[in-house]
């Protein structure tokens, strides 16, 4: 059965960042469809494995007397977020609700 499925080539380290992100998005979408799991649950699983990978990288870096760059070790800011705080207290959909 798996022989019938097309093989999607995994982008190599030298591939463009956009190509890698598209590949990751395609894999997550396929995973969601295959297992009928909610996006939130898949995100939690993805976060768990990303955290484990980061921990392993930090251990390796310390063993070599190095440190990870902040882009890998710190959370990225949410687009549109100002000064680390929330811009508004509105909930999603507030702009389309009738008063």
Name the domain count of the chain.
1
Q: Would residue 80 count as lying in a domain? A: no
Does residue 66 sit within a domain? yes
User: What are the pLDDT digits (tens) for 39-59?
Assistant: 888 888 888 888 898 899 999
Residue 83: the pLDDT is 57
Residue 52 falls inside a structural domain: yes
42 belongs to a structural domain = yes
- Judge whether 32 lies within some domain: no
Question: According to the model, what pLDDT value does residue 2 have?
Answer: 52
User: Is 9 contained in some domain?
Assistant: no
Q: Which domain does 43 fall in, by range?
A: 38-73
Instruction: Answer for the pair 57, 69: CB distance below 8 angstroms, yes or no.
Output: no
Query: Percentage of residues in the chain with pLDDT exceeding 90?
Result: 12
Q: Is 23 exposed, middle or buried (0-12, 13-18, 19+ CB in 10 A)?
A: middle
As a whole number of angstroms, the distance between CA 32 and CA 42 comes to 7
Asked whether residue 11 is assigned to any structural domain, the reply reads no
Q: Does a structural domain hold residue 57?
A: yes
Lowest mean pLDDT among 6-15, 42-51, 80-89: 80-89
């Amino acid at each position: 059965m798996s022989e019938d499925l097309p093989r999607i080539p995994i982008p190599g380290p030298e591939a463009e960042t956009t190509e890698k992100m598209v590949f990751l998005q395609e894999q997550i979408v396929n995973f969601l469809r295959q297992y009928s799991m909610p996006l939130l649950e898949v995100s939690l699983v993805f976060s768990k494995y990303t955290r484990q990978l980061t921990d392993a990288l930090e251990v390796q870096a310390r063993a070599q007397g190095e440190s990870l760059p902040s882009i890998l070790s710190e959370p990225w800011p949410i687009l549109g977020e100002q000064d680390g705080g929330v811009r508004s207290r509105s909930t999603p959909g507030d702009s389309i609700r009738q008063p």
